[in-house]
Chain A
Amino acid sequence: MSLQPQEEEVVFRIKRYSPEKGSYWQEYKLKVDRYTQVVEALRRIKSEQDPTLAYRAACHMAVCGSCGMKINGEPRLACKTNILEMVKKYGSNVITIEPMDYFKPVKDLVVDLDDFYQRMYKVEPRLHTHKEVLEGKAEHRLKPEDQRELWKFGQCIWCGLCVSACPVVPIDSEFLGPAPHAKGYRFLADPRDTITEERLKILLDSAWRCTYCYMCYEVCPREIEPVTAIKKTRAYTKLAKEKTPVTMTGEKHIESIHNSLIEVGKLDEAKVYLGTYGLLGSIRDFIYLFQSGKVKYALVKERPVENISEIRKILTGESK
């Protein structure tokens, strides 16, 4: 803490938009100190320089989820971004601010989040307990470890950053998106919930469409790990009564991996391929591999794990 005011001038290069003007860039200069967040800078710009700048912000403490945007290309909350730290990280006093990806821009940094809200509503985001519990006639307690697990995924602030940054959302309309899965899982895994079957109908196929790129984990400002919720949702596959082709392929794939691990402790790629796609599907892919000259490697037998009983024990509890 210093007795001298230590302010630096920063240039905010903001991507603005209006239906009348289209997209355009506008720059604002502001002196800030080391403690200042981006959202405070935006407020000062609006109050002192340009009242027309449109953006969403409310709580300035990363709990309302309003201020999601891209700052120097990173999907972040403006309130959880320290300006001079960003200047240092990128080695430039120009901070570029743009609206979140994927959602349609409405005005400047404000985007249309209806798409996001629809996804969240789709997963039936409310607890359906037994009637007697709801009416207070019976009690259904929750264990502390269950509370911790559910609360991890229940903290979602609906900021939309993960959906905006997810690479699968734009290419696959059947995929709900990371946040809806985190929300959906919070209820799926709640021991007090009574509509598991309906939830699986909504969540399961979509859960098998995630590509595990960990972008949602990276951008989530509340450390929720939506990708982990998706993985845990896949674990419910055996409970589902109806399974789509994507679900069944996924199920066969993970079973093949499991079998390979139990058998040799490593992935026998040929066996996993056959187990997932069957003979015809595998043959097709092997033709492509032949074209790229990689089939010769498939013929080399890899040494299995010696202490295979140890592998079997940790995976199944039994050494055989």
Chain B
Amino acid sequence: MDKVSYDAVVVGAGLAGLMAAHEIASAGYRVAVLSKVFPTRSHSAAAEGGVAAYIPGNSDPNDSPEYMAYDTIKGGDFLVDQDAAELFSYKSGEIIDLLERWGVLFNRQPDGRIAIRYFGGQTYPRTRFVGDKTGMAMLHTVFEKTSGLGNVDFYFEWFAWELVRDESRVRGVVAFDMRNMTPVFFKAKAVVMAAGGMGMLYKHTTNSYIGTGDGYAMALRAGVSLKDPEFVQFHPTALYPSDNLISEAVRGEGAVLRNAKGERFMARYAPKKLDLAPRDIVSRAIVTEIKEGRGFPGGYVGLDLTHLGEEYIKERLPLAVEAAKNFAGVDATKEMIPVRPAQHYYMGGIDVDITGKNPDLIGLFAAGEVACVSLHGANRLGSNSLLETVVFGRETGKAVVEFLKGYTEPSSDIDKEAEKAVDSAYDVTKSESGIHFGEIHEKLRDVMWDYVGIFRDENGLKTALSEVIKLREEAKKVYVSDKSKVYNTEFYNVLELKNMLDLALVIASAALNRKESRGAHYRLDYPERDDQNWLKHTIAYLRGNSVEITYKPVKITKWKPEARVY
């Protein structure tokens, strides 16, 4: 197997990965960025709403980084590490300013300064935006800037499969060139995991098809823990069947939800707030309606705008109209938009501190959605995830630079470990018969959606656990029917399935373990938040086929936990 050496290897070319790579390369180190897709295809591009920031001199006069931190902490149902929220808020202005100077085309106020608007959960408006394509605008600018640096090598359409480690340090990454299935051992002094989310574990997700949890699984298999893996965020209204997000702003402008009988069913679940009830209540309501047979065939309800009038709709909700037309073929001025809840974001992730450093494996860092600092605690606020990628991407990059400065080369030969990783991947290509990955994947998605979804209970979670274990066993029969080495997507789909099965086990176990409801984790059998017993982070390790769970305290600096009412 070929070997190449770099100072740092970044896995994932989304916003977090690129920011980290830029920071490390700007300090003079050689960086390899691995991505299974061309960088501009990364899921950062899908973020629409905007990026929150407090910019001194260009913010609401009542706002402050303190308020921003508080909103984030409260939004996370007090599971947020408050030092992370503070760093995040204080650095927000600086980083947005930097991106603006790099050329991100933020919308402007008449005087030429960056414009501001509200987003859900904010005390004062602080979201900056580029039309409805903020994520895409930021991603492209950061990619363009980073690709101009001479000491960053991009390896796109390379599938990173395994971290290579010795007793205490990470030594690199084994990845496959997707064009010809050639493995290469990327030796590195530091590895930054920035491989994004895991939506494809669920039957319905707003995530890209590439969100298969590769980063989490690689970390778990390398003996690294995930923090708060039970916390999965769902969004109440995703378009059927593409699961593209339909913003809550639509309901904010007067749209109402109706079941197959035409009823405004929210009256039964939130008699006062109706369609404007909090996300989790709306999600649970829709899922219940569908489960109890009052949804449309195919499993969705209707989002009705037709009573608002064509002019109003075209002026106030042009994006929802466009999305309905483009991705579901529906004229929203004349008929209801088909919607259903979907998985949206993953608060859990690789355990890191505010510098992005992981405590289990020296040299391993993580940033972006794949990491859990924990910035979002039990529930993420809108427009915070974009900011997280760039703030912590950069902070992690800085931490890597410091780490590299003090680095001493280890003496042990690690090539055998790397070979083992390649063998474990090639195993799946050896059979001539078996089952296709799709069969297991579809079953996994159903299990996770039904039992580890929007609402959970002991029986359901126990079922989920046993089903996942069964699927992990059945997956041994999965084989790759495509025997070509050229752009063999089936091979990578099988590796992705293995990653998903590793992560699913940890999520189900942690969800069963946490006997309270907090933020996005809702237990029908334990519906209240229990700060006395559960104001702590779950730390989970994958040990073969079982999950080991310990805990870590939540960092509380200024804000005492209080009831989360809006």
Q: Which residues of A contact B45 (CB under 8 A)?
A: 59, 63-64, 157
Complex contact B298–A5 (CB within 8 A): yes
C-alpha gap A20/B140 in the complex (Å): 36
Beyond A60-B242, A63-B136, A126-B144, whether A51 also contacts B298 by CB under 8 A is no
Complex contact B40–A65 (CB within 8 A): yes
Q: Which residues of A contact B242 (CB under 8 A)?
A: 35, 37, 39-40, 60-61, 79
- Output the nearest chain A residue to B37 by Cβ-Cβ distance: A58
Q: Is A315 an interface residue (CB 8 A)?
A: no
C-alpha gap A141/B338 in the complex (Å): 42
Contact-residue size bin, chain B (C-beta under 8 Å from the other chain): 35 or more
Question: In the assembled complex, how far is the CB of residue B91 from the closest CB belonging to chain A, in whole angstroms?
Answer: 14
Q: Which residues of A contact B260 (CB under 8 A)?
A: 1, 3
Question: Taking chain B's interface residues, is the majority helix, strand, or loop, or is none over half, making it mixed?
Answer: loop
C-alpha gap A56/B488 in the complex (Å): 12
Complex contact B136–A157 (CB within 8 A): yes
C-alpha gap A92/B263 in the complex (Å): 37
Complex contact B41–A59 (CB within 8 A): yes
Beyond A1-B296, A66-B41, A144-B108, whether A47 also contacts B442 by CB under 8 A is yes
Complex contact B482–A37 (CB within 8 A): no
C-alpha gap A37/B240 in the complex (Å): 10
Question: Taking chain A's interface residues, is the majority helix, strand, or loop, or is none over half, making it mixed?
Answer: loop
Q: Is B421 an interface residue (CB 8 A)?
A: no
Complex contact B486–A35 (CB within 8 A): no
A5's partner among B135, B136, B297 (CB-CB below 8 A) is: B297
Pick from A146-154, A170-178, A195-203, A208-216 the stretch touching chain B. Answer: A146-154
Q: Which residues of B contact A85 (CB under 8 A)?
A: 329
Question: In the assembled complex, how far is the CB of residue B114 from the closest CB belonging to chain A, in whole angstroms?
Answer: 9
A1's partner among B135, B326, B335, B442 (CB-CB below 8 A) is: B335
Complex contact A59–B43 (CB within 8 A): yes
- Output the nearest chain A residue to B324 by Cβ-Cβ distance: A35
Q: Which of B291-339 contact A (CB under 8 A)?
A: 296-298, 302, 323, 326-330, 335-336, 338
Complex contact A36–B241 (CB within 8 A): yes
C-alpha gap A297/B41 in the complex (Å): 56
Q: Which residues of A contact B105 (CB under 8 A)?
A: 142, 147, 150-151, 154
B interface, CB within 8 angstroms of A: 37-38, 40-43, 45-46, 97-98, 101-103, 105-113, 130-131, 133, 135-137, 140-141, 144-145, 147-148, 179, 208-210, 240-245, 260, 296-298, 302, 323, 326-330, 335-336, 338, 436-438, 441-442, 480-482, 484, 486-490, 493
- Please name 28 pairs of A and B residues whose Cβ atoms are closer than 8 Å in the assembled complex, sorted by A: A1-B338, A2-B296, A5-B298, A18-B484, A39-B242, A47-B442, A48-B438, A51-B480, A53-B489, A55-B489, A59-B41, A59-B208, A60-B327, A61-B242, A79-B242, A80-B327, A106-B179, A106-B487, A110-B487, A127-B102, A142-B105, A144-B108, A144-B110, A147-B107, A151-B130, A151-B131, A155-B136, A192-B103
When A and B form their complex, which 10 residue pairs have the shortest distance between CB atoms, in order from nearest? A141-B112, A127-B103, A47-B438, A107-B487, A82-B329, A52-B482, A5-B297, A58-B208, A126-B144, A64-B41
A interface, CB within 8 angstroms of B: 1-5, 18-20, 33-37, 39-40, 43, 46-48, 51-66, 79-80, 82, 84-85, 106-107, 110, 113, 117, 121, 125-127, 129, 133-134, 136, 141-144, 147, 150-151, 154-155, 157-158, 187, 190, 192
